[in-house]
Amino acid sequence: MALSARGSAAAVPGGGTLMWQILDDTWCPRDNPSGYVNLGVAENTLMHETLSEHVHKHMDLTHHAFTYGDGSTGSKRLTTAMANFLNLNFHPKLPITSAHITVTNGCSSALEHLSWAIADPGDGFLLGRPFYGTFIPDLSLRTGATVIPVSFGLTDPMSLDAVKIYELALIAARKNGQKIRGIVLCNPHNPLGRCYSHEVLLGLMCLCEEYDIHFICDEIYALSVWENTVDTQPKAVPFQSCLSLDTWGLVDRSRIHVIWGMSKDFGANGLRLGAVITQDNRMLHAAMIPVALYSSISSISDHVTANILEDNDWVQAYTCENRRKLGERYSYLTAWAKKNGITYAPGVNAAFFLWIDLGSAYRSRRSWEGSESVDVQVMTELLSKKVFLASGKQFGSEQPGWFRIVFTCGFEMLEEGLQRILQALDG
């Protein structure tokens, strides 16, 4: 798998350097009309003007912002602001305090630190398919841990029936001598754009308690949840943080870990700020302090983020408008898919992408029955038209031909990208 920035999502023909080639040759209708249209990187630019206005208005840098700050795991001001923000928006059963938070330079670092602290080299983590592709290097590349993809067949991977499948995968791994240290989820899900129900989350956490393993939940899209006015089935499930569940007497909270950051809900990938939120586990946070030297955020990012999270009225208005725009974009993209006879996975109400079956569309339009993987064939055609999407092959998709389309770029870019996708399908 090619390495990529968190959100770039995939290896593609040409190796890991292609991602940087795409980012260095991004389409612009005026300055670079022959460049790549990038609908593969999970960035949300819809609210950038609003965000920029707030950052510039409240910058007011103090001398503290030019120092090492309070340490490598986030300033006291930032962790206090983040705790208050999380308490207001994630509704935790037990109030979050600054002591429950370790800040890192992005959520990839947060996940890697958890893997390092929880697992020894060779230990495994269960990861349900499809999954966010960069989870694998995050968990394993430098820590030496392993990732065991869990297949569901015809079972909905976000259903209560999936809990039993996780258990069977855990038992099978142990029979093969594999030590399992945890289950890793993304809620809301990347790439499916759906939320896990209360029952499924609790079922998986209880499974972790029964088998003495950890429960890691990436909630990076927590506030990017919106109303789906398009699909009637499956019914969209509202987001609920695993921290909000009543687990008293059922699950030891020291084994529950949440990851969150500024990149998705605030469209601020460039701030490079993520966090591990774990309650009742001081030893875990203490263990991450030494490695945090290599993942500390800049004091300016610390300052900017604290300014944002402390402005509660602005945050509420910002996230409300962001949700409205996300819902509009979903409606637009699904209408495009239906008009062009392209199947997509319905029931989406979170994040900013659509899981779409370009493989079947390619086969039907081209009457193609080649022996080469349809994932590779479609990706090759897309790149020939200079449009980049994240391939389901790198997301562990159990069905070939599925791709993730990000719809939160400028509208002109989105339209150009959709036209190029059709050109790639039609030849």
φ/ψ bin of 313: left (φ > 0), alpha (ψ from -120 to 50), beta (otherwise)? alpha
Residue 56 within a domain: no
- Identity of the amino acid at 222: A
Token look-up 């038992």 returns 171
Which of 34-38, 61-65, 208-212 comes out lowest in average pLDDT?
61-65
Q: What is the CA radius of gyration of the chain?
A: 21
- Band (pLDDT 50/70/90 cuts) for residue 20 is confident
Burial letters 240-275, b for 16+ CB under 10 A, else e: bbbbebebeeebebebbbbbbbbbbbbbbbebbbbb
φ/ψ bin of 106: left (φ > 0), alpha (ψ from -120 to 50), beta (otherwise)? left
Verify that 262 and 383 share a domain, yes or no: no
Residue 12 within a domain: no
Last residue of a domain, one of 311, 335, 362: 311
Number of domains in the chain: 2
Last residue of a domain, one of 271, 289, 311: 311
- Band (pLDDT 50/70/90 cuts) for residue 371 is low
Residues 19 and 34: their CA atoms lie apart, in Å, by 16
Characterize the bridge pairing of strands 274-278 and 256-261: antiparallel
Residue 59 within a domain: no
Average pLDDT taken over every residue of the chain: 94
Give the structural domain span for 412. Answer: 17-49+315-426
Question: Is it the case that residue 352 has pLDDT exceeding 70?
Answer: yes
Verify that 271 and 321 share a domain, yes or no: no
Residue 8 within a domain: no
Residue 54 within a domain: no
User: What is the CATH classification number for the domain harbouring 386?
Assistant: 3.90.1150.10
Which of 9-13, 84-88, 362-366, 372-376 comes out lowest in average pLDDT?
9-13
CA distances from 247 to 38, 161, 206, 244, 252 (A): 42, 20, 9, 9, 8
Verify that 278 and 217 share a domain, yes or no: yes
Verify that 269 and 350 share a domain, yes or no: no
Q: pLDDT tens digits, residue range 5-14?
A: 444 434 344 4
Verify that 191 and 218 share a domain, yes or no: yes
Residue 103 within a domain: yes
Q: pLDDT tens digits, residue range 182-203?
A: 999 999 999 999 999 999 999 9
Verify that 80 and 218 share a domain, yes or no: yes
Residue 122 within a domain: yes
pLDDT at 382 (0 to 100): 97
Q: DSSP strand E in 13-123: where?
A: 37-38, 101-104
**Collapsed DSSP state (helix, strand, coil) of residue 36:** strand
pTM: 0.94
Verify that 354 and 253 share a domain, yes or no: no
